[in-house]
Amino acid sequence: MLPTCHLPCLPVLLPLAALLLTLLLTGCNALSPPRFTKVPVDQIGVSGGVVSFVCQATGDPKPRVSWNKKGKKVNSQRIETIEFDEGAGAVLRIQPLRAPRDENIYECVADNSEGEVTVNAKLSIIREDLLPAGFPNIDMGPQLKVVERTRTATMLCAASGNPDPEITWFKDFLPIDPNASNGRIKQLRSGALQIENSEETDQGKYECVASNVEGVRYSSPANLYVRVRRVPPRFSIVPTNHEIMPGGSVNITCVAVGSPMPYVKWMLNSEDLTPEDEMPVGRNVLELTSVHESANYTCVAMSSLGIIEAVAQIIVKSLPKPPGLPVVTETTATSVTITWDSGNPDPVTYYIIQYRAKTPLSKFDSMDGITTTRYSIGGLYPNTEYEIRVSAFNTIGQGPPSEPAEARTGEQAPASPPRNIQTRIISPNTMLVRWEEPEEPNGQIKGYRIYYTMDPHQPMGQWQVHNVQDSVLTTIGSLTASETYTIRVLAFTSVGDGPFSDPIQVKVLIDVPGQPTKFQVGAVSDTSIELTWEPSYDKGIVNYELRYREGKQGGVVPKTFPPSSSYVVEGLRANTEYFFSLAAISNKGIGAFTNEIPQNTSQAKPSAPPQDIKCISSSSTTLLVSWRPPPVAGQNGALVGYIVRYQVGGAETSAEPMEEPAVPPSTGAVLLQGLEKWTQYHVTVAAFTNKGTGPASQPLLCRTDEDVPGAPPRRVEVEVLNSTALKVTWRSLLPGRQHGQIRGYQVHYVRVENGESRGLPLIKDVMLADAQEMIIGGLQPDTTYSITVAAYTTKGDGARSKPKLVVTKGAGVPGLVRGAVRYDGVRSYRAMLFASGGGDISVRCRG
């Protein structure tokens, strides 16, 4: 039937062009009769089971679909019609099936104003006990499931049959089409139905249907419940209060959660700051700029389950004002105590004190966290003028400082002695002494005391004293000619005496040089030390004499050399303490020696190996190596550790030895692990310092312990000699698998019936390391035997060879068995051989 086009009423004489234009403008509604888009198929059900026929049509106007049986509307409590697609589709569901009552041809009818179409489907029913072998069976049906909305739900289904059944799904008695869900609903290869991002509309009763050519079977229905969480709104991030500077900016964050998620807005008093159509869900950040006034901002979170509010207070606050001028209330040599007025009507968090010495290059030091208006500043230098100021700190920051106050610390006795003491003989009994001011006078120097004596071992109280004021040089007379004096100088303030200078010596002889000054150590190596000094003011120095000794008890070694300001002593021993003193020489004689100064040479790598190297085999794969440190004279410094190297004995010299991780210096032993069994190793030990590794010890030859052999004998063969005897031959193990000295071999043999051993194995032992053959007698005729061979050491048996199965000959006349125990050496051995009749004979084995 062709579609019909209904036109509006038009005047008969309307021009053709106008007619066409009217058609285009008004359109044409093409009506069509029904046409099936889903046709029901014949089905074979099981008695007591379920079947569903699905039918759907299209057309214009939309058709109505109904089901008939024998030309009449179906009408039964067991037969139900479920419509869908606004009546253009219908499912005929029959449950439970009754045979033969329900076996029939069912008719699907689709009709509209344009026509009517029908389609038939046949239903056959088979009793459960008469089902064919391949009829579908539901092995695992869906189960009750509860899932939260937006989560994934999986309804399981597994079926079997022959051929493999096709699985489809019904929800609330209607078929499920996964292709119509935009990928949200999927049927997995296993047959399971997976529903992603579940919705409330997914809730319902689900059935799994398995069908093949033999029939159709439905699973028991299972309900899926989609749970919707309902949680009133609450704040997960509560807006916080802020203090800002005038004109400052701040962001206030407010986050609320719930189910459903709440909308969040900001309000200032009764004014909405968030437009109604821009209200965000869950999170809202209020951005405030150029804030000049304090205010309370309210965050409102709302959902269908309630409304909540939170207030954030924005306080516009300025930096604190400067405190009042600090007042000095007390001073000591190392501290100043000050007080001040806060100068701020509002509370401050704490105060910051800044102070510095009033010198051109000094910088302010700070002390913060002070919560009182009185504080003592300690750790200052004596007799020093300081500038002190105070500033306040609040939640906004640090305010400007106060006006500075000035204070001078009190005096102390000098903290350091006078510097650069020098002497000069100006007459047969008078000397000139000069010096420089202490580096740390700690006040005004009132004078100096010069202590001098011919016996420096006397207590200082017994030395002679010469006082000097307002000068850094003086003369001391009434000295004894040709004697050597020791001199020490101190400075004093009004508080007390400072420390003594280091002693210097002077010999009372005219034109004899004074003691060299600033005698000190320069560059140092492991075999040399450089010494430097400043020459005395005396002229006429022709030589210097340097004396040094090794350690406090060593003999003195003199060195004489021309005038110079430095000298390098060479040929010294590493990491050794030496003592040095120096004197100048003129034509009139030698001057006073300086005080001895000590110095150690640098460390070097050891020059001797560790001692008393020992090696013990603690197992077949380990060696315990022990040693003692190198002689002290050969250590040349603090030992950092030891290096232990080992190499298989007899290996090529070009092979790299193996090395253990560095052993700490406090350890005198190491366990070498993972070694080859019954193997000789060359072991060496070397010590090392921060400067390098010393010589290694002489190689020590060590052998790991024996173990059981690592393999069975090779090429095991068995020869049947007669009805009661066998000859077993083999070859010895390769040397690398012996793992010790082979002491002999064991031959195991056992009777075998139907592939299984009968009785316990019998063992024949050959206690000959070179044996390669054995005769086994006393066997049963026409019997199967399994034979294995194993070598053994003092540690036990090794692995057995693969079993050899042989059958003895049938019963016969007993006779002597010829045989021998073969060996590889040249010595003779005695062995026992068996005669076929069970008797033993003794033979001699020859090379």
Q: Do 534 and 518 form a contact (C-beta atoms < 8 A)?
A: yes
3-state secondary structure 607-635: CCCCEEEEEEEEECCEEEEEEECCCHHHH
- For residues 200 and 825, the model is more confident at 200
Strand-pair partners of 546: 559, 582
* Residue 804 to residue 720: CA distance in whole angstroms: 12
* Residue 317 to residue 394: CA distance in whole angstroms: 9
Q: Do 845 and 786 form a contact (C-beta atoms < 8 A)?
A: no
* Residue 85 to residue 58: CA distance in whole angstroms: 10
- Model pLDDT for residues 678-711, shown as the tens digit of each residue: 888 999 999 999 999 999 999 999 999 988 998 9
How far apart, in Å, do the first and last CA atoms of the chain sit?
A: 117
Stretch 713-740: mean pLDDT, rounded? Answer: 90
Stretch 651-655: mean pLDDT, rounded? Answer: 57
Inform me whether the pLDDT recorded for 418 exceeds 90. yes
Which of the residue ranges 3-12, 473-482, 722-731 would you say has the lowest mean pLDDT? Answer: 3-12
* Residue 161 to residue 59: CA distance in whole angstroms: 39
Return phi, psi of residue 461, to 5°: -65, -20
Write the Ramachandran bin of 115: left for phi over 0, alpha for psi from -120 to 50, otherwise beta: left
Question: Where residue 591 falls among pLDDT bands split at 50, 70, 90?
Answer: confident
Residue 29 confidence (pLDDT): 56
Inform me whether the pLDDT recorded for 817 exceeds 90. no
* Residue 743 to residue 59: CA distance in whole angstroms: 102
Say if residue 326 is preceded by a cis peptide, omega within 30 of 0: no
Residue 649 confidence (pLDDT): 81
- Model pLDDT for residues 16-64, shown as the tens digit of each residue: 444 444 444 444 457 999 999 999 999 999 999 999 999 999 999 999 9
DSSP-derived secondary structure for 698-757: PPEEEEPPP-S-SSPPEEEEEEE-SSS-EEEEEEPPPHHHH-S---EEEEEEEEEETTEE
- For residues 557 and 260, the model is more confident at 557
Inform me whether the pLDDT recorded for 518 exceeds 80. yes
Sign for the pseudo-dihedral over CA of 483, 488, 494, 495: negative
| 202 DSSP assignment | G
Task: Give the 3-state secondary structure of residue 685.
Answer: strand
- Cα 333–chain centre separation: 54
Q: Do 390 and 352 form a contact (C-beta atoms < 8 A)?
A: yes
**Cα dist. 203→145, 177, 225, 742 in Å?**
10, 16, 5, 81
- For residues 313 and 514, the model is more confident at 313
Structure tokens at 265: 């807005």
Inform me whether the pLDDT recorded for 639 exceeds 90. yes
Strand-pair partners of 758: 751
- Model pLDDT for residues 334-383, shown as the tens digit of each residue: 999 999 999 888 889 999 999 999 988 899 999 999 999 999 999 999 99
| 187 DSSP assignment | E
Task: Give the number of residues written for the chain.
Answer: 847
